[in-house]
Amino acid sequence: MTDLVQNAAGDLAADSSRKDHPMWSSRLAFILAASGSAVGLGNIWKFPYITGENGGGAFVLVYLLCIALIGIPIMIAEVAIGRRGGRSPINSMRQLAQRDGLSKRWVWIGGMGMLASFLILSFYSVIGGWALSYVGNAAQGAFVGADSDTIGAMFGGLLADPIALLLWHSVFMLLVIIIVARGLSSGMEKAINILMPLLFVLLLVMVGYAMNTGNFAQGFSFLFQPDFSKLTTEGVLTALGHAFFTLSLGMGVMMAYGSYLPKKVSIVKTAVTVSVVDTAVALLAGLAIFPLVFANGLEAGAGPGLIFQTLPLAFGQMSGGVLFGSLFFALLVVAAVTSAISLLEPVVEWLEEQKGISRFGGTLIGGISIWALGILTILSLNQWSDVYPLGMFERFEGKTFFDLFDYVTANLMMPLGGLAIALFVGWFMSKQAGENELDLGNGAGYRLFMFVLRYITPAAVLVVFIYNLA
C-alpha cells in the first residue's frame, strides 16, 4: 500500500494530469488496506474498555447505530471524494471545491485531519508500546499460573515506569518510521495479508476459551442486553467518537485510500465490507474479554488497562498459553502498526507535497515530532497523572494530556471532520459527481443514501454535539 502512496506522492509533484496514478490491483487489495487501517488498537484495546466504562449493552447498541447510520455513509462519502479528487486529501478537496466552484475553505477538512493524525499517533504509539512489552512478558512465561493481583501489579508496574514506557514507545515509533520511510515492500504486504486473518482466528480461539472457562452468559448479556439507565450523554458522545475512530474516518485517511480505487469498484459494497469486518473484530474482542472479567471478579470499568489485565489471566491458565499469548500480543502489535502507518502517512505526504521535503526527511521530521509529543502521554500515566492542563474548563476537568488528546481527537475533531464530509458530498458536491462515484444509479438506492447523508447523518452528529455542549 505505502508503495502506491509513495509513487503517487512522487508523481503528484511532477505530474498534475496524473495519467500514471497507480491503482489498487483489485477490490480485495483495497479492502485489505482499508481494513488494515481500521482494525487496530481501537477494536481490541479501546472498544472493550470504553464499553466496560459505559455499562455495556446500551452503549454497544448506540455504537452499532453510529456505525450504521453515521460511519458507513461517511466512509462512502470520504472514499468517493478521494476517488474523484485522485490526490492527497488536502489537494483532493481543493480540486473538487474548484471544479464545482465552491469555497476554498473546504480544504480545512484535510488540514484538521492532519493535525488529528498527529495527535492520535502520539498516544497510539504509547499504547502500541504496551502491547510490545506484553509480547515479551508472554514469551517469558510471566503470566503462567499468575492470579489477577499479580497480573494487575504487572500492568501497574509498567505504567509507573516512564523509562520502560519510553523505551517501548520508541521501539514502536521506530518500526512505524522505518516502514513509512521505506514503503511497504510487497513481501511485507503479503505477510500482513496472512497475519491479519490469523489475528481474527486467534480472537475466535479466545472467544472459544471464554465460552469454556469464563462466565460467558454474563459477558454476553453485558455486551448485548441494553440497560439504558447506564447510558449517559457523555457515553453517547463516546460511542459516536469511537465509531469515527475505529473506522479511521473524518480525517482524510479513507480519502487518500480512495484515490487509488479503480473506477469500476463499488464504493458502497466495499465500505460496507470494511465496516462489517471492523465491527466483527471489536465484538469478538468484547466476547473474549468480558466472560473472563466476570469469571475472575474483575472490574468491567477498569479503564485503559482492561485487556492487559484480563487476557493474560487466560494465557496464564490455558495450555499452550505461552505460545498463544506471545502470538496474540505480537499480532496486536502488527494490527497497531498497520493503523499507525495510515496515521503517519498523511503528515509525510503533506510535508513532501507542500514543503518539498524528501520522503525520508519527511518521515523523520514527522515521526520524531510525534515521538516527542508522545512523552506527554507517558508522563500522564505516572509523574503527571494529576496534571490537568485544561482543568479550568469544566468539560476538561480531571483530564491528563493523554485523556485530552484522546478526547479532543475522537470526540470533537473526527465528528466535525465527518460532519463536514457528509455536508460536502450531501449538499455541495455536484449531483453528477455523486451519481458517478456512487454506482447506485439514480433510482431508489441513490435517493435513500442521499437522504441519509443529507439529513440523518448530520442531524445525528449535531444532536449529540449540542446535547453535550448544553
Residues that bind ligand TRP (CB under 6 A): 37-38, 40-43, 120, 245-246, 248, 251, 253, 339, 342-343
**For ligand TRP, which is the closer residue by CB, 253 or 289?**
253
What span, in angstroms and rounded, lies between the C-alpha atoms of 309 and 120? 23
- Residue 260 phi/psi, 5-degree rounding, is -105, 10
Least CB distance to ligand TRP at residue 457 (A):
17
How many other C-beta atoms lie within 10 A of the C-beta of residue 159? 18
Read off the C-alpha cell for 343. Answer: 496515521
Least CB distance to ligand TRP at residue 235 (A):
19
Read off the C-alpha cell for 160. Answer: 509507573
What span, in angstroms and rounded, lies between the C-alpha atoms of 166 and 375? 7
- Residue 388 phi/psi, 5-degree rounding, is -115, 90
What span, in angstroms and rounded, lies between the C-alpha atoms of 272 and 209? 29
Least CB distance to ligand TRP at residue 257 (A):
10
**CA distances from residue 71 to 29, 313, 340, 436 in whole angstroms, order as listed:** 21, 34, 20, 21
**For ligand TRP, which is the closer residue by CB, 115 or 144?**
115
Least CB distance to ligand TRP at residue 392 (A):
28
Least CB distance to ligand TRP at residue 291 (A):
23
**For ligand TRP, which is the closer residue by CB, 276 or 323?**
276
Handedness of CA 168, 171, 177, 183 (dihedral sign): negative
Closest chain position to ligand TRP (CB): 42
**For ligand TRP, which is the closer residue by CB, 41 or 142?**
41
Handedness of CA 447, 452, 456, 459 (dihedral sign): negative
Least CB distance to ligand TRP at residue 67 (A):
12
Read off the C-alpha cell for 389. Answer: 492542563
Read off the C-alpha cell for 126. Answer: 504509547
**CA distances from residue 339 to 245, 440, 450, 454, 455 in whole angstroms, order as listed:** 11, 30, 30, 29, 31
What span, in angstroms and rounded, lies between the C-alpha atoms of 217 and 238? 26
**For ligand TRP, which is the closer residue by CB, 196 or 450?**
196
What span, in angstroms and rounded, lies between the C-alpha atoms of 468 and 144? 45
**For ligand TRP, which is the closer residue by CB, 253 or 284?**
253
Least CB distance to ligand TRP at residue 188 (A):
18
What span, in angstroms and rounded, lies between the C-alpha atoms of 418 and 454? 12
The amino acid at 347: V
Least CB distance to ligand TRP at residue 243 (A):
10
Least CB distance to ligand TRP at residue 140 (A):
27
**For ligand TRP, which is the closer residue by CB, 63 or 388?**
63
**For ligand TRP, which is the closer residue by CB, 58 or 254?**
254
**For ligand TRP, which is the closer residue by CB, 29 or 253?**
253
